[in-house]
Amino acid sequence: MKKVLSVVVIAALMLFSNVSMAGVVFQLSSSSAGLVTIGYTASANTGVRGLALNVQLSNNATAVYSDIVSIYPAFNTFIDYAFDHQPYNLGQGHPFANPNGTGSLASPASFFTISMGALDVTGGQAAAPAVVNNLITFRIQNGGAGFSSVTLSPNTLRGGVVGDNIGTVTMPQPLLVTIPEPATMALLGLGGIMLRKSKS
């Protein structure tokens, strides 16, 4: 009887362990000055289908949709942009959204939401990949301090992260990003032009 009870207890612990493993862990990184990259890792039994993440920038730094460098291709649906632009074509628009209400955000802002979904166009209803290191990369503009702290949080208005067996969503620690002054960026660009000319 004790042996049977032990087996039942072990099986129950394994079940609860598998349930607790379900979740999505987000990462923030910066490959170079002024750039912010958001990524995530989902557990094997979790399927991400959509997300809405608030981005807060400190020190009056701002970002705008035109400063997006890249978006992971599986995330091809921009829900808030579609709300403002009908009829909507898949892949059209951008994921910058109003954090406090529906609709896209076109102006530079220090507080905004990244809102996008992954729609499987093959008909297989597959979720987004479990590991996406570069979900989105965007450039932030200097607010005068030369740096900004980037803080990520779920947008509860839109449900945060949605999909299959999402479980626990873990946000990263705020990331301190150095932002070049506009004059510095211009000088770097000029230096690159002069270097290319000297080689030719």
Q: How many domains does the chain have?
A: 1
Q: Is the pLDDT of residue 7 over 50?
A: no
**Mean pLDDT score across all residues of the chain:** 86
3 by DSSP, 3-state: which?
Answer: helix
Is the confidence at residue 4, as pLDDT, over 80? Answer: no
Q: Domain limits at 81?
A: 22-195
- Say what percent of the chain tops pLDDT 70: 80
Q: How many CB atoms lie within 10 A of CB 43?
A: 18
pLDDT score for 192: 47
Q: What is the mean pLDDT of residues 88-114?
A: 97
Residue 12: inside a domain: no
CATH no. for residue 154? 2.60.40.680
Q: Is residue 170 included in any domain, yes or no?
A: yes
Classify residue 9: in a domain, yes or no.
no
> Could you report the per-residue pLDDT of 135-178, keeping only the tens digit for each?
999 999 999 999 999 999 999 999 999 999 999 999 999 999 99
Task: Please compute the mean of the pLDDT values over residues 52-76 and round it to a whole number.
Answer: 98
Specify if 74 maps to a domain.
yes
Task: Assess contact for 49 and 162: CB atoms under 8 A.
Answer: yes
Higher-pLDDT residue of 108, 10: 108
Local structure of residue 62 (DSSP, 8 states): B
Cis peptide before 95 (omega within 30 of 0): no
pLDDT given at position 10: 31
pLDDT at 11 over 70: no
The answer to whether the CB of 180 falls within 8 A of the CB of 34 is yes
Q: Are 168 and 22 in contact (CB under 8 A)?
A: yes
- Confidence bin at 184 (pLDDT 50/70/90): very low
Query: How far, in Å, CA of 56 to CA of 112, rounded?
Result: 7
Mean pLDDT over residues 45-49, rounded? Answer: 96
Residues whose CB falls within 8 Å of the CB of residue 98, separated by 6 or more in sequence, listed in order: 80, 104, 105, 112, 113
The verdict on residue 15 lying in a domain is: no
pLDDT over 50 at 125, yes or no: yes
| 6 located within any domain | no
Would you place residue 22 in the very low, low, confident or very high pLDDT band (cuts 50, 70, 90)? confident
**2 part of a folded domain:** no
